[in-house]
Amino acid sequence: MLEVRNLSLAFDDLVLADNMNFTLDQGKTHVIIGPNGTGKSSLLKTLFGDIQPQSGEVLYQSAALTKATLNPWRQRFGYMPQDINLDVGLSVLEVVLLGQLNALSLKLGDSLLEEALQALDQIGLLHLANRDVRTLSGGQCQMILFAQALMRKPEILMLDEPVSALDLHFQQVLLDHLDQQTKQKGWISLMILHDLNLAAQYADNLLVLKGGKVVAQGAPKDILTADLIEDVYGVKADIQLDSLGVPFVRTQRRGARAFMSMKDTLVTSEQSTKERAL
Amino acid sequence: MLNSALITEAVNTQRRFEKRRWFVLTSLLLLLLCSFVFDIATGPSLLGIQDVSNALLNMLGLPVDVARTTEVIVTNLRLPIALMAVIVGGSLGVGGAEMQTLLNNPMASPYTLGMAAAAGFGAALMLYAGSLGMSAEIAVPVGAFVCCMLSASLLFGLAMMRHITSGQLILSGIALLFLFQSLLSLVQFVSSPELSQQILFWLFGSLTKATWSNVAITAVVTLSCTAVLMKDSWKLTALRLGEERAKSLGVNVTQLRLKTLIIVAVMTATATSFVGIIGFIGIVAPNIARMLVGEDQRYFLPLSFLVGAFLLSSASVLSKVIVPGALFPIGIVTAIIGVPFFFWLIIGKRR
């Protein structure tokens, strides 16, 4: 169980966490949603020990994260940062291998190589194994970094917008694999998503962040309402339950009406030009 | 299962990559050996390649006949210089490679971060102060070493700060470069013309100051530093994925950065204090190595050493044969030969 207690975090006058409290259970997929710049990535970095909070604490299995426990703490983490740029002269296999950094020595055994290749195989990217990573597309890099995070055999896996560059197929591959492994291995998985429908489909526990507070937390079907979405994002949306009982979020296009009114003004100004010309 | 066959195939391909990298390493070693022998053979009295090889084999304890004069020339005059070229070249190559890794920038090297300029300033200051009454052979290298470590320690201080980025480190290094260059000019400005000439000659860089004792010191420092870096090779490879990602893989980035910076500073300070400023190899050698074997540091690091060593060793040969009978300062030769070659590499890569 990962626990956040009375966490407060601010950069100057920008409050990112204001006396925040929540717990994340083993074997569940937890998803954070919330507006841009509301401190989602900073929250992950705080849990990883990269940012020190002003007050409050983070505990894993009742042991607190402190400066002294930072290194062993990080060894239990798989953390996939948002940045997917890979500009380095290494092969895909070598990048995935780095997930097991502590096991690597000057001479690489076959078993480690095979393990890394299996991680790639599980997400359908075995055919890329020997490619130079600089020749990959952004989405492919993202998948490779996911494989690297899997190689870490984490107890806690944190992913910062893991599907931001992925096509429909790989979104499903990544999220399905993550969900299945989380349940099978009893990980605590925590990811940030922007697509509310993906969040609704994959979250066992959804945390909605706004202004440094967790404004709602629970199963998506219980908490995802039109009012919540309007409150958090300022966007009007229809929410229906699909055939599986998962909330389905459909936003209304605001541009449609705006465009119509813009066309009206254009016509009027055109007319007035004509009138003046006459 | 079909995939297990594919996995085996991918493992084999990876092993083939590794074999190819070993081949590159071995080739470079052979090239280095050639330039090393040539380096010993060339000089005021030209020796035959056969004589040189015989003298070397004789030194290694093999029963080969060598003329007494050849033996004396080789062991007392040429060998320290040739060895110094190999060691200093390797040291500059490794230093550049790790600076580039650390700062995530192919333009970084101990030279561009002001370490060499600081060494130059230290040496100039010592010459200006009349070596403080000590022998110049000792005082000048010590001055260079101390100053180089001083400027590097400013960088250490910055590197230890928690949220400093590589970009900020590079900028600080470049600022230090300008600072020490100005201070160096200042010393030259207030010196007498003769002294100024002496300082200038030191700055050119020269291998002729090599003696068996300073070759031994440089060799021990360079080889042990390289060995320590090799131990961290995977962590350094991980660092190239970016600092945040390296942290996510469990690397203590602040500690690794400081450790590597100190090692590189010690290597650079040692090399520069005995031979003066030899620019460019620190930038070129790692870039060539990267093109040849990629950035798996298990190969990248030793290859940067070998390429650097080969470049300086062949520059040493050239410095002796450009104008027969005269010795060109090697610091000048490396840049003049190296720059066109480097341009060719950069443009060739773009195609």
Confidence band, pLDDT 50/70/90 cuts, at residue B61: confident
Task: Tell if the CB–CB gap between A106 and B230 is shorter than 8 Å.
Answer: yes
Nearest by CB to B241, from A79, A86, A105: name it. Answer: A86
Calculate what percentage of chain B has a pLDDT beyond 90: 35
d(CA A60, CA A66): 11
How high is the pLDDT of residue A29? Answer: 96
Mean pLDDT score, B24-30: 96
Mean pLDDT score, A27-34: 95
Instruction: Please state which of the ranges B86-90, B180-184, B206-210, B292-296 shows the lowest mean pLDDT.
Output: B206-210
How high is the pLDDT of residue B349? Answer: 61
Nearest by CB to B242, from A50, A83, A89: name it. Answer: A83
Q: Of A130, A103, A97, which is closest to residue A115 (Cα–Cα)? A: A97
Q: Of A104, A109, A105, A199, which is closest to residue A148 (Cα–Cα)? A: A104
B251 CB-side CA count, 13 A: 29
**Minimal CA separation from A116 to chain B, in Å:** 10
How high is the pLDDT of residue B344? Answer: 77
Give the model confidence (pLDDT) of B62-75 as tens digits.
777 777 777 788 78
Q: How many CB pairs under 8 A join A and B?
A: 92
Q: Which helix (H) or strand (E) holds A238?
A: strand A237-241
State the average pLDDT for chain B: 87
How high is the pLDDT of residue B25? Answer: 96
The residues pairing with A208 across neighbouring beta strands, listed in sequence order, are A33, A216
Task: Tell if the CB–CB gap between B7 and A88 is shorter than 8 Å.
Answer: no
Nearest by CB to B240, from A88, A91, A127: name it. Answer: A88
How high is the pLDDT of residue B176? Answer: 92
Amino acid letter at B7?
Answer: I
Pairing of strands A205-210, A188-192: unpaired
Helix axes B330-350, B281-293, angle to 10 degrees: 40
A140 CB-side CA count, 13 A: 16
How high is the pLDDT of residue B108? Answer: 85
Q: Residue A73 corresponds to which tokens in the numbers above?
A: 């703490």
d(CA B294, CA A88): 8
Break chain B into its structural domains and give their ranges.
Answer: 2-39+77-350
Nearest CA in chain A to B235: A101
Task: Tell if the CB–CB gap between B251 and A113 is shorter than 8 Å.
Answer: no
Task: Tell if the CB–CB gap between A90 and B7 is shorter than 8 Å.
Answer: no
d(CA B86, CA B313): 6
Confirm or reject contact between A74 and chain B (CB < 8 A). yes
Give the model confidence (pLDDT) of A93-129 as tens digits.
999 999 998 888 888 888 899 999 999 999 999 999 9
Confirm or reject contact between A113 and chain B (CB < 8 A). yes
How high is the pLDDT of residue A277? Answer: 55
With contacts defined as CB-CB under 8 Å, which chain B residues touch A117? 7, 10-11
d(CA B4, CA A114): 9
Q: Of B294, B234, B98, which is closest to residue A133 (Cα–Cα)? A: B294
Confirm or reject contact between A160 and chain B (CB < 8 A). no
Confirm or reject contact between B349 and chain A (CB < 8 A). no
Confirm or reject contact between A132 and chain B (CB < 8 A). yes
Residues in B 266-305 with any Cβ partner in A closer than 8 A: 290, 294-296, 298
Nearest CA in chain A to B17: A130
Q: Residue B27 corresponds to which tokens in the numbers above?
A: 């080739």
Calculate what percentage of chain A has a pLDDT beyond 70: 91
Confirm or reject contact between A40 and chain B (CB < 8 A). no
Confirm or reject contact between A48 and chain B (CB < 8 A). yes
Q: DSSP per residue over B123-165, as a string?
A: HHHHHHTGGGGS-HHHHHHHHHHHHHHHHHHHHHHHHHSTT--
Which CATH number is B2-39+77-350 given?
Answer: 1.10.3470.10
Task: Tell if the CB–CB gap between A74 and B11 is shorter than 8 Å.
Answer: no
Instruction: Please state which of the ranges A5-9, A112-116, B203-207 shows the lowest mean pLDDT.
Output: B203-207
Cα distances from A115 to residues A86, B90, B234, in angstroms, run 22, 36, 17
Nearest CA in chain B to A76: B250
Exposure pattern of B171-186 as b/e (b: 16+ CB <10 Å)?
ebbeebbebbbebbee
Predicted-complex ipTM score:
0.84
Confidence band, pLDDT 50/70/90 cuts, at residue A162: very high
Confidence band, pLDDT 50/70/90 cuts, at residue B351: very low
Nearest by CB to A118, from B7, B249, B298: name it. Answer: B7
Give the model confidence (pLDDT) of B279-320 as tens digits.
788 988 999 999 899 999 999 999 999 999 999 999 999 888
Q: Which helix (H) or strand (E) holds B69?
A: helix B68-72
Cα distances from A55 to residues A7, A62, A89, in angstroms, run 6, 17, 41
Task: Tell if the CB–CB gap between B250 and A101 is shorter than 8 Å.
Answer: yes
Q: Of A194, A221, A222, A226, which is closest to residue A209 (Cα–Cα)? A: A194
Phi/psi of residue A132, each to 5°?
-70, 130
Distance from the Cα of residue B348 to its chain's centroid: 24
Q: Of B338, B111, B81, B332, which is closest to residue B201 (Cα–Cα)? A: B332
Confirm or reject contact between A249 and chain B (CB < 8 A). no
Q: Which of B163, B228, B241 to mutate to test the interface with A (most CBs of A within 10 A)?
A: B241
Q: Of B283, B280, B291, B271, which is closest to residue B349 (Cα–Cα)? A: B291
**Minimal CA separation from A65 to chain B, in Å:** 15
With contacts defined as CB-CB under 8 Å, which chain B residues touch A71? 250, 252
Cα distances from B223 to residues A145, B63, B241, B284, B312, in angstroms, run 35, 29, 27, 20, 17
With contacts defined as CB-CB under 8 Å, which chain B residues touch A111? none
Mean pLDDT score, B36-40: 91
What is the set of domains in chain A, with CATH numbers?
2-229 (3.40.50.300)
The pLDDT of residue A264 is above 80: no
How high is the pLDDT of residue A63? Answer: 86
Distance from the Cα of residue B5 to its chain's centroid: 44
